[in-house]
Amino acid sequence: MNNHARFTAFRWRSDQQWEGYVFLLPSLIGLFVFSLLPVLFSLGISLHEWDLLTPPVFVGLKNFRNLFTQDLIFSEVAANTVFFCVAIVPLQMALSLLLALALTRRLPGAPLFRAIYYMPVVTTIVAAAMIFQWVFDRNYGLFSSVVWGVGSWLNAPLAPPDWFNNGFWARWAVVILTLWKNSGFTTVIFMAGLQAIPRVLYEAAAIDGAGRWQSFRHVTLPMLSPTIFFLAIILIIGAFQLFGESYVMTGGGPGYATMTVVQYIYQSAFSYFRMGKGAALSWVLFVAIFALTLAQWQLQRKWVHYESNT
């Protein structure tokens, strides 16, 4: 069989288009059954009061109205979620960029340090949160031991913060744990972005007399803007979905000081069996994340610089 005959035998024919859909059918069925159908079902549940034991009662938009008019806990956990987003995203971006700049240099032991910084990413959140419970323990924790040791050395009465009984310090304990757990991922992404920057741009900047700071400001940051845009979306979505860190380490306390919207959804639906309220909370969270992502997508046209446009 010559090449022309072989091509004719295997060329695409319009009457065979259904075969492609047959191969896609298992994935489409899984997407519909395990993703689309539960999402639509949760939207229906949000319009009902349902405790899983008695038949659901249709209440319309009552669950949504109560969240914004009567539920004081919702306003507090929403404020906590916004705080974690504002605190975690910029700090994680800055810390990861500094680590990426250091690890991309040809220094002895750099591959070892790359592995060390990435190890927390593959650590389970339960194990990490339990370790940090001990680190921040006021009486026996590692941090408290360091503070007392420094106070003894300085002959000064230094007292460590009461991390888990003070709302301010409890929030920052969650922030520190999250930074330790997730910074390795963003560091790897930044390293990939840094390695993709053409060296000729730095050479041209050096010829023009640019120093390190000027090269970083006018070459590195603009060329990293697509990476920063990607990570900003991913980190903001992750911050709004924060759950395991506060649930395991602080239990949402003291009071509701570290409880997030996702933890409140879990508590409403699976602790108090108020499925309608939990579904309504989920849709409010979805709308907030979708709106922020859409706003970022619109604003990226003003500050994200792609190489093809430069």
* Residue spans in the chain of domains classed CATH 1.10.3720.10: 62-309
SS3 per-residue string spanning 28-97? HHHHHHHHHHHHHHHHHHCCEECCCCCCCEECCCHHHHHHHHCCHHHHHHHHHHHHHHHHHHHHHHHHHH
Q: Spelled out in words, what is the top-level CATH class assigned to the domain 62-309?
A: mainly alpha
Quick one: residue 252, left, alpha or beta (phi over 0 = left, psi -120 to 50 = alpha)?
Answer: left
- State the 10-residue block means of pLDDT for the chain, 310 residues long: 52 64 88 91 94 93 94 95 96 95 82 88 92 90 86 80 92 96 94 91 88 90 93 95 93 93 95 95 96 93 71
Report the 10 Å Cβ neighbour count for 37: 11
How much is the pLDDT for 309?
Answer: 43
Task: Return the C-alpha torsion angle 25, 31, 33, 36, nearest 10.
Answer: -130
Tally of residues, the chain: 310
How much is the pLDDT for 42?
Answer: 94
CB proximity list for 286: less than 8 A, separation 6 or greater: none
Pairing mode of beta strands 57-58, 48-49: antiparallel
How much is the pLDDT for 24?
Answer: 87
How much is the pLDDT for 310?
Answer: 43
